[in-house]
Amino acid sequence: MRVFWGWILFAVAVGSILFGGPILAIIFGTAAYLAGEEYIAMTRAKGMHPSPRIIRSMIIAYFVIAAAPEIPWLHLSAQFSEDHFPLLLTIGVCISFFRLLFRQESPPATIADIATTVLGFIYLGWMPSHLVLLRNLTPPGLEHISNPLQQPGLAYVWATLFIVWATDVFAYYGGKKFGKHLLYPQVSPKKTIEGAAVGFLSSLFWATLVFYAADHYLFPCHPFAGKLWLAPLMGAVGSIGAQLGDLCESLLKRDAGMKDSSQLIPGHGGILDRGDSLIFASAICYYWVKLAVLGMI
């Protein structure tokens, strides 16, 4: 059952990434929405009461804004999404305070309720929606490519996913083979320093491989502009983000007294359990590509 659901998740994720556009936003936005439900359950297990409506609606809003430029009839610029993310954040913070201020409950809302509401939509709306921004990213001066399999954003997402995949998989097997020293036992009792190091080094190799294959064989537009030396650096920052994202989710679960974020996926736990590494890595890799590869920041 675990293997079966693993392949189902893999097929859905890969298919949505290949198509890109609104399809990617719908699939990953749905996953983020379900992860939001798991997050809300964690906070309630700790006796906190964030606003579920605000968290849910803000998660949806982030993915809608991220996908909006890819909807043809809206005629929006590629910069529309990033320009409006700060506005959306401002609206979310204001609504969180105002809504909870006037929530008709006794006792009234607490600092923890407001804080967990804001954290919820930043953690599961703002951060993972950067994967959609990354998929839609185009180098300056390059005309729009209609074939989704040739769009440069696909190469950027592949690089990010291979970094996260290599980090997770090789850290697991490296830890089983060589692990002797615990990495952070107070938060994750099974992760080892040796496993983390193997995952980190593996991400450098796979990032370099994706960079080289994308520029020389797979994408005529040369999405990485031949900057192969940047590949291991992207692998490094992406791997660190992935491993810290994993630890952050473990911290939330441990504080909530939960082994898994949910039992939604048979044999795999919850959405957060499967996607925790990607939450931070997608945002980090997005800004890394914009800054280091494309020079757009």
Beta-bridge mates of residue 265: 269
Residue with tokens 């606003």: 51
User: How far is 195 from 217, CA to CA, in rounded Å?
Assistant: 32
Q: Which pLDDT does position 297 carry in this prediction?
A: 72
- The percentage of the chain sitting over the pLDDT mark of 90, rounded to a whole number, equals 81
The pTM (predicted TM-score) of the whole model is: 0.95
Q: What is the pLDDT of residue 118?
A: 97
Please say whether the beta carbons of 224 and 209 come within 8 A.
Answer: no
Half-sphere exposure of 52 (CA within 13 A, CB side): 11
Give pLDDT, residue 137. 95
pLDDT at position 215 is 97
Q: Residue 229: is its pLDDT beyond 80?
A: yes
Given the structure tokens 């995952």, which residue do they identify? 199
Find the farthest-apart pair of alpha carbons in the chain and give their distance in angstroms, rounded: 64
Residues 187-222 pLDDT 10s: 988 899 999 999 999 999 999 999 999 999 999 999
Burial of 1 (0-12, 13-18, 19+ CB in 10 A): exposed
**What does the pLDDT look like over 32-86, one tens digit per residue?**
999 999 999 999 999 999 999 999 999 999 999 999 999 888 889 889 999 999 9
Mean pLDDT, the chain, as a whole number? 93
Q: Which pLDDT score, from 0 to 100, does residue 67 have?
A: 96
Residues linked to residue 269 through DSSP beta bridges, in sequence order: 265
pLDDT above 90 for 244: yes
Dihedral sign computed on CA atoms, order 144, 149, 155, 160: positive
Query: Which one-letter DSSP state was computed for residue 108?
Result: -
For 111-135, what is the mean pLDDT? Answer: 97
Q: Return the pLDDT at 2.
A: 66
Q: How far is CA 235 from CA 92, 163, 282, in A?
A: 32, 6, 12
Which region among 5-19, 124-138, 161-175, 231-245 has the lowest average model confidence (pLDDT)?
Answer: 5-19
Is residue 200 within 8 A of residue 239, CB to CB? The reply is: yes
Residues 225 and 212 sit within 8 Å (Cβ to Cβ): no
Peptide bond into 107 cis (omega under 30): yes
Q: What percent of the chain has pLDDT over 70?
A: 99
pLDDT value, residue 1: 65
Q: What's the pLDDT at 155? A: 98
Tens-place pLDDT, residues 272-293: 999 999 999 999 999 999 999 9
